Amino acid sequence: MISAEHPFEAWLTICREQIEGFLQNPPALRWDDFWLNPRRLRGSDFLMRWSQGVWSENRLVEAVNSTKDFIALPYGPSGTAPTKNVREFELYFERLEAAGLGHIKRPDLLIFSKNSRNIIEQTVAEIGGSSELPFVKEEHPLIQTLLRHALIAVECENSLWRTQRMPDFKTPLRPQRRLNGKLGLKKTAVLPTIIIKEEDREPLRRWQEAHRVPLHIWHVFFDNAYGLAFDRAEQLIAEGLTEPTIQVFQAPGGATTKKAIFKHYYHYGYSLGRSSEEPRLQPEFVEDKNGHILPYVTFIGGRLELSESALVLLRQVAAERGV
């Protein structure tokens, strides 16, 4: 299914799961009082979402690249888009749309063995740098070279929670009546989950089948990160172990839509990593052409270290794929 949203708005669209617990009773903002760009980013929530996504992907790339065996490459548009200016960010997606690639779903990261470093760096240089990757069709021989050497592809998600303080963290799964006796937790349980949007499932399934690169979902929280193989996520849905949750999403222009998401219990995934250094929350602001100032919070620094279970998984994949 192709989203009708412009890719700029689709990337910034937010739901309760992404900001709940962080923005408490934000002040009312009259969006018609100012103009930041043609889509009118309406408030701190959208700017925070932008900052949050960039920060979490950067932490994952740094965590992988700090290992002795693996390297990560931003592959989807969100990981290579400009990060210093809202207008430049939007123009990047305008260019993507003009190239006819705005609605193509690609995983956010590709993970490689460090044994492939030279050929990966040479290939990316021939493309024109990592920022050009989203503008090259996947049928191109250079992109095919990258995909042949990739161990796994990663779809990144993030949430603003400390997992260890969530009320149902470490609560064991128990038989649930609504699941016909299958293991689960009460509907109101608050615990880490690995999220995938219903609208992303089919595009990601097609991508994995077309390129034969195993796809994983990596979900970053403030203090922990969890991973789940895409195939395992699909199995959980098929077996009725993960039910859809309907969420209201809001785009920067103000439009709201209801979409289904699947929140897989972290019990079904694997420990991806832990925070060894927490980020700082730093105040930032943007100013419109009329002098209107809009504050928001951005994330600075922090460090994530991959877990041994994640490293074991990557080594197993490397052995299986002979890369």
Tell me the mean pLDDT in the region 160-173: 94
In a domain, 126, yes or no: yes
In a domain, 28, yes or no: no
User: What six digits make up the tokens of 312?
Assistant: 């074991």
Q: What are phi and psi of 118, to 5 degrees?
A: -60, -45
Q: How confident is the model at residue 167 (pLDDT cuts 50, 70, 90)?
A: very high
For residues 51 and 297, is the Cβ–Cβ distance under 8 A? yes
Q: Could you tell me if residue 4 is left (phi over 0), alpha (psi between -120 and 50 degrees) or otherwise beta?
A: alpha
Q: How do 224-229 and 183-184 pair as beta strands?
A: unpaired
Q: Could you tell me if residue 30 is left (phi over 0), alpha (psi between -120 and 50 degrees) or otherwise beta?
A: beta
Q: How confident is the model at residue 79 (pLDDT cuts 50, 70, 90)?
A: low
In a domain, 304, yes or no: yes
The amino acid at residue 260 is: A
Q: How do 193-197 and 109-113 pair as beta strands?
A: unpaired
Is pLDDT above 90 for 140?
yes
Q: What is the pLDDT of residue 166?
A: 96
Q: Three-state SS for 276?
A: strand
73 vs 5, more confident: 73
Q: How confident is the model at residue 131 (pLDDT cuts 50, 70, 90)?
A: confident
User: What six digits make up the tokens of 107?
Assistant: 């995983």
In a domain, 112, yes or no: yes
Q: What is the pLDDT of residue 300?
A: 81
Helix (H) or strand (E) holding 17: helix 16-19
In a domain, 12, yes or no: yes
Q: How many domains does the chain have?
A: 1
For residues 190 and 168, is the Cβ–Cβ distance under 8 A? yes
In a domain, 180, yes or no: yes
How many Å apart are CA 215 and CA 194, to the nearest integer?
Answer: 14
pLDDT digits (tens, 9 = 90+) for 38-75: 344 445 555 666 677 778 888 999 999 999 999 999 99
pLDDT digits (tens, 9 = 90+) for 215-269: 999 999 989 999 999 999 999 999 999 999 987 766 555 567 788 999 999 999 9
Q: What are phi and psi of 243, to 5 degrees?
A: -95, 155
137 vs 51, more confident: 137
Using CB atoms within 10 Å of the CB of residue 178, give its burial: 0 to 12 exposed, 13 to 18 middle, 19+ buried: exposed
In a domain, 132, yes or no: yes
Q: What is the pLDDT of residue 6?
A: 58
Q: How do 280-287 and 270-277 pair as beta strands?
A: unpaired
How many Å apart are CA 75 and CA 290, to the nearest integer?
Answer: 37
Residue 263, domain extent: 7-23+33-321
In a domain, 2, yes or no: no
Residue with the two structure tokens 């949750």: 245
Q: What is the pLDDT of residue 111?
A: 98
Q: How confident is the model at residue 91 (pLDDT cuts 50, 70, 90)?
A: confident
